[in-house]
Chains A and B, each alone.
Chain A
């Protein structure tokens, strides 16, 4: 019964999205205020019924209603309650329902917080959100209904959730990632609405910017969380695999980062507008492409889900409509967009342009590396694989100019900058970075690697250049503290974002150059030493878990005769799926992680272990969090909350329709 309510609500939500597509736009065409005003209630309706549907599915999982196919395939009575909820989005159908819930949620938030937008514009934006909704609701109802029944053959027990996904990190990773993916649909809707209206101006950029940054924050944290999960859960000790699914989330992130910076130029200087629109379209299209790649099963990876040609075809068609339609609209309207501002070669505009070019190139590289094997195979040229070495090499080269610009950009003024004015600060910061970048590994590491020096140099350059920039901004003021505050949250957001990037860069550099990985053979009572740490294998215990049994190795770590920690690493055997999972033992530190994973029994009571020494690995994720924090700070800037200041600019097309 509850499942039917859920199914029915989904159909109603779909109807709402259809109305939301049609009614406000006809209202705009006929200048009918009432019809335009319908956009908001229709959006709320879409969200409400999606929510009901989602709750119904959650309920089905919680009470283990195996008459729902989706529940039977992905849950089990023995599964702990929290993972029953995770299982809701662990499956293909459920994850799409979550996707839609989030999409409707963004739309509802947009309806709620867009009161100061001119009605015409709000109606258009929400209608575009409705259009995206139509595509996805039909996709779910036609090809992947989460409420399909198993009646009359109801299984006694469910299939259980993939043990890889039975992990606290997986509870919030997909929702966060989806918040990011789907969040770009807002930026997309703004861009399309602006194209429809034929007006792109600074106020459009100002409205769009906080939403874009919000989506970017979620995506950043989501990707970081996924990387962290892979690090401790997959048992290989890697934090990024250039796996197609990771790439699918990384591409919108790169495009979104470019979009954020390009929006800054559009808002502050009125330039790059058509480019910004193109990036907004690209960011959302890449999110959709990611969904297609992951969900259609054309790419096979750790995360690949069910393969069903109908789903793939539908998603591909939808992708074609979205990309084709928006590009067509762009082609028709973009010629009207005129950028009026002027700038010289050495100016912040050009710096940001450089940043955009590099980010777009990076996006293309990831896209190429992800799709080329696929195309190659489809053309009958045989199977190839493009993996880590390719991406690592290209990204290393791209990072060098990128990091240099991240540091230099904020020092450079809008419009034009005389090199002589910043020469001193730049040279000082760069010299310091070079010296320290070389000195730190020379003092603290047993060997100096060229790449480590390069990475540290770039990261430190960003740090010192940021300091120089702040110093320059407050140079003329007397009261340092109040002038630091006066820089404003948006400025500090930028600084934090850049520093976060530097922190991540340091983490990546250190891990790539100084990590140690050892496969060792130990029997109980034996020890192994690495980097001054002694790993003592004490014993192996047999443990019974709720839906698994496991062998648990107890490893005692000491350093210079002093206790560090006792770690546990397990091999779990999940009963229902008959699947083995390794649980790693981690000793977390500010400067390094110790990581140990249990391997197979080698006979005679000894076991294989994989021991890692990972310097600065936490910094990779800490940097991502700092970047996200910077984003949050930017959004909190007051200028995004100014009342209707720019309404009249957009209001001209609305023929004076009052709000």
Chain B
């Protein structure tokens, strides 16, 4: 092999090795950090045809509607627990320490990220509420059949139709 080809070969192999290393790294990071999404019913009855239930200690995301009246403060008042439901019969409890997002309200859809601490209880590290009136996590919108996303343009139309000034 002449020196030029040899150099090229070395370069190409360096790039390939780098890319392979990067791919391996990405795959490893993915396997560690993908969180599955569950609705309360899926959490209790299992997900999909195989009825896979998450294990206690698993990191996951849940989404559902906050049951009105279920929000309670425990211990020092900084820890909050509330129940989530979807269209199924199941009900699960989420507990979270800290300040809830501004848009957290009873009866509204939220997504919580956290760890399963018992079969129906989740300790959340993060609670996401609707960030504005157009926000509905897509997985949630899909899971909660019947709750159609209404673009604000139409929403306003409806409002002016029924003459109500309220926005919720």
- Chain A positions within 8 Å of B, measured between CB atoms, are 69, 72-73, 153, 155, 159, 162, 164, 235, 300-302, 304-308, 342, 344-345, 350, 353-354, 357-358, 361, 365, 368, 372, 377, 382-387, 389-390, 393-394, 397-398, 519-521, 571, 576-582, 597, 599-600, 602-603, 606, 608-610
Contacts and interface: CB of A to CB of B under 8 A. Distances in A.
A602 B77 contact: yes
The 9 A-B residue pairs with the shortest CB-CB distance, nearest first, are A599-B99, A383-B37, A383-B139, A390-B33, A602-B77, A389-B33, A580-B102, A519-B98, A361-B22
A365 B26 contact: yes
Nearest to B48: A382
Contacts of B19: 357, 361
20 contacts: A73-B153, A162-B132, A300-B137, A301-B131, A304-B135, A306-B152, A307-B149, A308-B151, A353-B15, A368-B26, A377-B138, A377-B139, A386-B30, A387-B33, A577-B167, A599-B98, A600-B99, A602-B73, A606-B77, A609-B99
Contact of B29 (A301, A353, A394, A597): A394
B32 A159 contact: no
A264 to B, nearest CB: 19
Given A300-B135, A603-B77, 8 more contacts: A304-B134, A390-B30, A390-B33, A519-B97, A577-B167, A599-B100, A600-B99, A602-B77
A581 B131 CA distance: 11
Interface of B: 4, 7, 10-11, 15, 18-19, 22, 25-26, 29-30, 32-37, 47-48, 61, 73, 76-78, 97-100, 102-103, 113, 131-139, 142, 149, 151-153, 156, 160, 166-168
A387 B99 contact: no
A315 to B, nearest CB: 16
A500 to B, nearest CB: 25
Nearest to B143: A383
Nearest to A236: B101
Contact of B76 (A358, A372, A521): A521
Contacts of A389: 29, 32-33
A73 B78 contact: no
Given A361-B22, A397-B25, A382 B152 contact: no
B29 A383 contact: no
Nearest to B128: A302
Contacts of A610: 98-99
Contacts of B134: 304-307
B22 A398 contact: yes
Contacts of A385: 34-35, 37, 61, 113
A393 B113 contact: no
Contacts of A390: 29-30, 32-34
Contact of A521 (B22, B32, B78, B138): B78
Contacts of A597: 99
**Contact residues of B: prevailing secondary structure:** mixed
B34 A384 contact: yes
Given A397-B25, A580-B102, A600-B100, A387 B168 contact: no
A374 to B, nearest CB: 9
B78 A159 contact: no
B9 to A, nearest CB: 11
Contacts of B77: 521, 602-603, 606, 608
Given A357-B18, A394-B29, A599-B99, A307 B151 contact: yes
Contacts of A235: 99, 102
A342 to B, nearest CB: 8
A149 to B, nearest CB: 13
B35 A384 contact: yes
Nearest to A243: B131
A308 B152 CA distance: 11
Contacts of B168: 578
A174 to B, nearest CB: 16
A98 to B, nearest CB: 20
Contacts of A521: 76-78
A356 to B, nearest CB: 10
Nearest to A69: B153
B113 A159 contact: no
Contacts of B33: 386-387, 389-390, 393
B74 to A, nearest CB: 11
Nearest to A154: B160
A326 B25 CA distance: 31
Most chain B CB neighbours (cut-off 10 Å) among A235, A344, A361, A521: A361
Contacts of B132: 162, 164, 579
Contacts of A609: 99
A382 B36 contact: yes
A342 B2 CA distance: 14
B138 A300 contact: yes
Contacts of B136: 300
Nearest to B98: A519
A254 B64 CA distance: 36
A387 B34 CA distance: 8
A365 B142 CA distance: 27
B37 A382 contact: yes
Contacts of B138: 300, 377, 383
Nearest to B10: A345
A350 B78 contact: no
Contacts of B149: 307
Nearest to B39: A383
